[in-house]
Amino acid sequence: MKHKYLKGLVLAALLGLATPAISGVSAAEATSSTLAPISLGYGIVASSDAIETKVSPDTIAIKPQLVSTVMTTVDNKTVNLPAGVTVFDLKRMMTPMGMVDGTKFISAKELNAEYVKDIRDMASKKELNIKELKDFNGTIYRDWNLYQLRGEDAEGVHTAYVVDLALGPDYIKGERANLEISNALWDAADKSVANAKKSVINSRDGVQERDSMKFAKTAAIAAAYMSQVSNTGDSKDQLGHTWQVVRDLGDELTKQQEAMLAPYPAEYDANAFYAAMVKGTEAVPVMRDAASFNQFVDKHKNNLVKALVADLDKAAGELKTQAETNERAKEKLELNRSLRDGLKKIFATSDIKADYLDQMEQLNSIFGPVLYSQAREVFTFDSYEIPLGGLNLVRFDKEGPVITVLTTNDGDFNYWQKQWQRMYGLEPQVRAFAADTKNAAIPAKTSTTHMRALGHDGNIVVPRDLTVKKLSDTVIVPTLWKFLEKDTKESIARGPELRDWVTDKLLVGDERLESMKAYERQKERLQYFEDYRLGEKTDVYQWQLKDSEGRKTATVFGLVLTPQTTKGYSTMLQKDLIDLQLPVLNSYWMQGDGRLENNVLGATIFSGISDYAYTSVTIKDQTPWALLPHYTHPAYMASARVFVNANGFELPYYLQGAVVLTQPNPVAYVMLTSDLERDEFAPRFVQFIQEL
């Protein structure tokens, strides 16, 4: 349902849930769903020396304005941007095919119609039969838009994403209807569970709980709030079935939603809604206090993992006796144990934490009174972090509420807070973020002191203040790797397929030849698993850093350069030969004829779309490949700032690469981070390479 793409974000901001945890997810959903019909991404063409790809002959002479220094809001008001800041506007997007209005792919009229239809359909289900909602009607959505903001200063290039939502006067009316349906769904689900004796949230006759506000939140928390698994003990000592834990969570969320909605009057009134939003937020501490939010998350995630493990323990107990004589039961028992251990590790290495939440403040702006809030959070999944910062504005015009949510990397938060202040003329001045503020809950990160790395026997000293996570130590990718390798080995052991798997007829001619080729490809795939074995010959590290500006991350890719992974060229990687060839290598690396930029563009997601988008790559501040002055093994390093653009949408990166002549095989590392975070990670990357 299209309106579900925006629902989480709208509810989050309007009811006080204006945190990056909600806004970031919703913004991502809005982006992907909006761009899907034309399969494009977009960015800022920031430099006149950018290398442009080929466009249609009819438009090659046209240089449209892809970005602007004025942001036009969802309700057609203008915001003059501060010096150094530009905006890419999805609604007014220029392409070689002409102007594209992204909002037409999800129009307000469609959103509204689907929202109303969903409520009516749900209310009419025989299990629910909510008579007063069968003819529900109202104006819920008016319009929406999506922007990328780009800023540049001495520190680098900053980017942020803004969602602008114009809601109708009946939005709260719609949310109250959703809440009523949600409560009815829980009651129906209770009966279904009791009758069928199953721990599932599923009522009969096609009732779709996923369409309810409550179920969406329940599912999100059950999936994302995972961490700090306690000892589980014996299954009989656990909290009970998973269903009961989810039901308890649903009850608590219902109470929070009722408390948030209670202050709003039945009919829309701008002044009354201002006061209602403040009161609704104050009524739910988890929406305005980081410590309360984190305690709520910890409580329910720990309850959930205990319940899941208890259910698995119960099933394992029933399988143990059968496994003594039944091979199939033995396989199920092994799967049960693997799933149990995997769940515990996933919960222990996945989390969502609020570093900072605050209460909404009423401020003055260029548009009159607004409600302002800010938040900083970090998502962790299978050890890898996504740190986000969020800034939120809500204003209540006579036509309905307007919600504006900015989401950015946490390391960019301070920059965009200042620009937000200037853009909207917020008075009194927004307080600068400080880690010791009342509603902050920012524990220090535990740094990694030593680690094993590709190309080095034993442990190396980790650069200062870094927490390092390795892909080979996560749960999902190594498990998937092992499964695919095992499946490939078993398939090869069975030999080539000589019969049609449907008709069982013997394959002949071209069909038999193709089957033999497929068998050879399987053997090549199995060799790939060996040549690029995760943790031994390849790995991906996430470097996590926390300083006074916020949380920052960099991704480091490592590859052992064996004869197999380099087609034999690794034997040529000797110091004397590299020193001799450095001038030739750097003549290509540092040249300015566009070949390198085109090669970079060809390796990005924007390759092959030149007929549909103005695409370009700009490379700045390159450093030549050079031998590091201090090293354990000879090491060569280079770096560059890389800006990939399509139609005005920019992805600003910093790349730093190194080749280290370790024995018996050299190793290559490439670090990728945002342009803004290069100064924090570049010296640490040098230190890391010097340790190898």
Q: Which helix (H) or strand (E) holds 482?
A: helix 476-494
Q: Is the pLDDT of residue 485 over 50?
A: yes
At 30-82, the pLDDT tens digits run 222 222 222 222 222 233 333 333 333 333 334 467 788 999 999 999 999 99
What is the residue extent of each domain of the chain? Answer: 450-472+537-691
Angle at the Cα of 652 (from 649 to 658), degrees rounded to 5? 145
Predicted confidence (pLDDT) at residue 656 exceeds the cutoff of 90: yes
Buried b (16+ CB within 10 A) or exposed e, 494-530: eeebeeeeeeeeebeeeeeeeeeeebeebeeebeebe
> For the segment 452-484, what is each residue's pLDDT rounded down to a tens digit?
888 888 888 888 889 999 999 999 899 889 889
**Per-residue model confidence as pLDDT tens digits over 556-571:** 999 999 999 888 888 8
**Residue appearing with tokens 């039961």:** 329
What pLDDT, on the 0 to 100 scale, is given for residue 24? 30
- Band of residue 444 on the pLDDT scale cut at 50, 70, 90: low
Averaged confidence pLDDT in the chain: 79
Per-position DSSP letters for 80-106, written without gaps between them: EPPTTEEEEEGGGEEETTEEE-GGGGG
* Range 161-189 average pLDDT: 91
pLDDT digit string (tens) for 395-420?
999 999 999 999 999 999 999 999 99
- pLDDT score recorded for residue 540: 95
- Report helix, strand or coil for 231: coil
Q: What's the CA gap between 640 and 461, in Å, rounded?
A: 26
Would you state the pLDDT for residue 54? 37
pLDDT at 134 over 50: yes
Distance CA 518, CA 520 (A): 5
Amino acid at 462: V
Q: How many angstroms separate the CA atoms of 557 and 204, rounded? A: 49
Residue 633 DSSP symbol: S
The confidence band for 441, taking pLDDT boundaries of 50, 70 and 90, is low
633-643 residue pLDDT tens:
999 999 999 99
Q: Is 442's pLDDT higher than 80?
A: no
CATH topology of domain 450-472+537-691: Protein Transport Mog1p; Chain A (3.40.1000)
671 pLDDT more than 50:
yes
Rounded Cα–Cα distance for residues 371 and 12 (Å) = 14
* pLDDT of residue 175 exceeding 90: yes
- pLDDT digit string (tens) for 180-226? 998 888 888 777 766 654 443 343 343 333 333 343 333 333 333 32
- Residue positions counted in the chain: 692
Other CB atoms within 10 Å distance of the CB of residue 86: 20
Answer for the pair 276, 263: CB distance below 8 angstroms, yes or no.
Answer: yes
Q: What is the largest CA-CA distance in the chain?
A: 84
Residues 306 and 303: their CA atoms lie apart, in Å, by 5
* 285 cis-preceded (ω within 30 degrees of 0): no
